Amino acid sequence: MFTQNRQLPAIEKQQVLEEAPNRLNRTDRPWQVTIEGDALIARWKWEDENFFAPCAVSDETKSYAFIVVLGENGRWRELDEPDGTAEEEYVFGRDGEDPVGETGFGGFIFDPAIIKAPFYEYLTECGWKKAGWFG
């Protein structure tokens, strides 16, 4: 009988989950990491004018969630909600910070690689690997 020789991660799942918010949440990042069960969830208001341009003219906010589910075998799976593809968008709106309510155009660039890179770095430092096609 064939058995796979799997190496356990350097840092156990519970510790990775507990330490993730402290390692991944920072004031210079526009997302917030929370824990739900075995999942690390980063929610990004990617068109949030308060982070990218406090004096911008748009009051529209779009969100994106990057979800990493830790398995029992030292591997993780990931999911994007909605589908994480880079895009650039221009909007017309009103500046909610300005009492006069100036209107105009604003631009936003969304690239999910920005949010994924710190996760990959953290998880690989902890000895975890991204799951392949067969887990």
Three-state SS for the chain is CCCCCCCCCCCCHHHHHHHHHHHHCCCCCCEEEEEECCEEEEEEECCCHHHHCCCCCCCCCCEEEEEEEECCCCEEEEEEECCCCCEEEEEEEECCCCCCCCEEEEEEEECCHHHHHHHHHHHHHCCCEECCCCC
pLDDT band at residue 2 using 50, 70 and 90 as cut-offs: very low
For 95, the domain range is: 13-130
| Residue 8 maps to a domain | no
pLDDT of residue 3 exceeding 50, the answer is no
| Residue 113 maps to a domain | yes
| Residue 94 maps to a domain | yes
pLDDT of the residue at 1: 46
pLDDT of residue 90 exceeding 80, the answer is no
| Residue 86 maps to a domain | yes
Cα of first residue to Cα of last residue in the chain, in angstroms, is 20
Query: In the predicted model, what is the mean pLDDT of the chain?
Result: 77
| Residue 105 maps to a domain | yes
pLDDT band at residue 93 using 50, 70 and 90 as cut-offs: low
| Residue 1 maps to a domain | no
Work out whether strand 87-94 and strand 39-45 pair parallel, antiparallel, or are unpaired.
Answer: unpaired
| Residue 18 maps to a domain | yes
pLDDT of the residue at 82: 73
Segment 78-93 shows an average pLDDT of: 68
pLDDT of residue 62 exceeding 80, the answer is no
Segment 106-110 shows an average pLDDT of: 64
Tens digit of each residue's pLDDT (9 = 90 or more) over 13-58: 999 999 999 999 998 887 899 999 999 999 886 555 554 455 555 5
Structural domain count, the chain: 1
